[in-house]
A and B are shown apart, each in its own frame.
Chain A
Amino acid sequence: MTDHTKSKLLVALLGITLLCALVTPWLGHILPQWDVIFRPGADDIDAIIFWQIRVPRVLLSLLAGAGLSLGGVVFQALFRNPLATPFTLGVASGASLGVTIAIVSGIHFSLLGLSGTSLAALSGAILSIALVYGIARASGKLSPTTMLLGGVAISFFFSSLILLLQYLSDAGSSFRVLHWLMGDISRASMDSVLQLAPFIISGVLIVSLLHRELNLLSITDDMAASRGVNVDRSRQLLFFAVSLMVAGIITVCGPIGFVGIMAPHICRLIIGSNHRFLIPASLLFGATFLTLCDTLARNISSAAEVPVGIITAILGGPFFLWLLLRKNRSLP
């Protein structure tokens, strides 16, 4: 496939994403009148459902889907492992632990416009990366395998700490933690969209600027270094960008699994491994995918909404297995 074809494919993907963003707010048990589009501030039921519930929810799932997918792209390249994502590597559990501590302890504060919960999530994410780095360094060399195994260990450890905290806390916060752990976009509001946007935008900017480094790092660290890449600095910047995005998503939506593993692989099959194209393709695909999953989540049952994390996990589990069992692997 030539670069020209790939560019055209990206334009088509952008079209699909826009279409999805325009159509999904209309779908649901209540079908709003078409003219609510001209009444964003109105207080009739249609306008409230459309502008205050569904539009923020679609915007939030677009942002979160893009961020989760890009996090997967970066980690799969850095660890040169098709199963590496911020979730398999402990970054998400670090951020989740931060949020759990914030919920259980009931602290409320904000710093520089960031909420205490999102700062706790970011600290947790960066702590887990630092631990993974520390473990790998202590073992002698920063091999992706050591980091991967360290990440899995930390992920388990943090998850059990979350369960412990939840067990020890009162019924109210315990339920809030449980509901939030399922990964949910239903509490979306324009505030949460505005809260998440800066995290995702800055993460996407950093990763996009480093697409040439990602290409070389996805081969080997030695190859990247011998071509002139400052491997340590690039890797730290990329880890930081992913931590930002994951912390933002975990704070606002809770842990939503499997988007980060599926979206990059499907995009790689379609558009190839060159990160110049893979990055925008994964952003768009991830955004569309999560938005569709969430639309499904809020329509699948008339009794209650299903948290979107359950839908992505149900779709993701079999995909994960397919990836493991696929014979002809040329990934990442």
Chain B
Amino acid sequence: MQAIPTDIIKASDLNLRIGSTQLLDAASLAISAGERLAIVGPNGAGKTTLIRCLLGLTQPDSGHIEINGRPLSKLSHTELARQISYVPQQLAERISFTAMEFISMSRYAYGGGRGAGGGFKQTDEEGLEATEQAIELTGVGHLRHQALSTMSGGERQKVSIAAALAQQTPTLILDEPSAHLDPKQRDIIHDLLAKITREQNISLIVITHDLNWASAEFDRIIGMKAGQTMVDTQADAFMQKQTLMDIFDADWLLHPHPESGRPMVLPSPSQKP
């Protein structure tokens, strides 16, 4: 009897070399249902390459990826799209689809996505329901008929998240979801993601440079450097002076948050000129 796998995604020993650059060096990652995982590390550490492998967008030279106990290579394109959805770093600004058109395109893997409004097949009640639910949860109802090209960065990011939710997958992967946003919009996106995982029991894999957010909102943090998944530990255990030194090569102060008590990173005064 095969045991039911507890990890819904399990990647082990991934290697990828392009030219003389080792993009991934025995990188590994596992996530269980409902878990929130942050991937941090300096630029060029291989974070995006790692998630691209999980999404089937990049083929590693060697290594093994299992989705729900099945090898990734055995899954069809649509089967994979029903397991993992993806919010890219930033949607191109030129996209002239309306929010509704864009969100309903996420139903592709279910045979839907024929367009806005009445674009679903009569029988795709589920698709219409999933789309409406995603719109309600993300609060983008008022943007329904607005073109993405005319939205602000924050609005576009919310629509992008709504689209990923409409894909109804157990896992959601986001690449720096708040990197390009102002502090207020950043908080709105962070709150939205917290609400989603709370209400939908979706596993979250997020690449971020926001260590304080990772510390406050995530169960586990993976620290990457030079293609290696160097540290993989509970959020509290990650926020240690030595660990941060190892990953980022920077000497930061750590201080507990005045209300939550979670460790926070502060720039070290000595680094200022």
With A220-B88, A222-B88 given, is the CB distance from A228 to B108 under 8 Å? Answer: yes
Q: Are A227 and B55 in contact (CB under 8 A)?
A: no
State in angstroms the CA–CA spacing of A159 and B56 once bound together: 39
Q: Are B57 and A225 in contact (CB under 8 A)?
A: yes
Binds B, one of A43-51, A211-219, A313-321: A211-219
Residues of A227-251 whose CB lies within 8 A of B: 227-230
Which listed residue (B18, B86, B114, B147) contacts A226, Cβ 8 A? B86
Q: Are A227 and B106 in contact (CB under 8 A)?
A: yes
Which listed residue (B82, B88, B108, B115) contacts A274, Cβ 8 A? B115
State the majority secondary structure of interface residues on B: mixed
Q: Are A212 and B114 in contact (CB under 8 A)?
A: yes
Q: Are B117 and A219 in contact (CB under 8 A)?
A: no
Q: Are A331 and B96 in contact (CB under 8 A)?
A: yes
Say if the beta carbon of B101 comes within 8 Å of chain A. Answer: yes
Instruction: Type the 1/0 row for A1-33, where 1 means its CB is closer than 8 Å to any CB of B.
Output: 011100000000000000000000000000000
Q: How far is the CB of B237 from chain A (nearest CB, A)?
A: 32
With A3-B115, A3-B116, A276-B115 given, is the CB distance from A220 to B108 under 8 Å? Answer: no
Q: Are A215 and B97 in contact (CB under 8 A)?
A: yes
Instruction: Type the 1/0 row for A83-107, where 1 means its CB is closer than 8 Å to any CB of B.
Output: 0000000000000000000000000
Residues of B100-126 whose CB lies within 8 A of A: 101-102, 105-106, 108-109, 113-119
Say if the beta carbon of B95 comes within 8 Å of chain A. Answer: yes
Chain B interfacial residues counted at CB < 8 A? 38
Q: Are B56 and A225 in contact (CB under 8 A)?
A: yes
User: Which among B78, B91, B115 has the highest number of chain A CB atoms within 10 Å?
Assistant: B115
Which listed residue (A2, A219, A227, A329) contacts B109, Cβ 8 A? A227
**A residues within 8 A CB of B91?**
219
Known: A228-B82, A228-B108, A277-B115. 20 other contacts (CB 8 A): A2-B116, A212-B113, A213-B108, A219-B91, A219-B97, A222-B57, A223-B86, A226-B55, A227-B105, A227-B113, A228-B77, A228-B109, A274-B101, A274-B115, A276-B115, A329-B94, A330-B95, A330-B96, A330-B147, A331-B96
Q: List 15 A-B contacts (CB under 8 A).
A: A2-B116, A2-B145, A3-B117, A212-B113, A215-B97, A219-B92, A219-B102, A220-B88, A226-B57, A227-B106, A227-B109, A227-B167, A228-B109, A329-B94, A330-B96
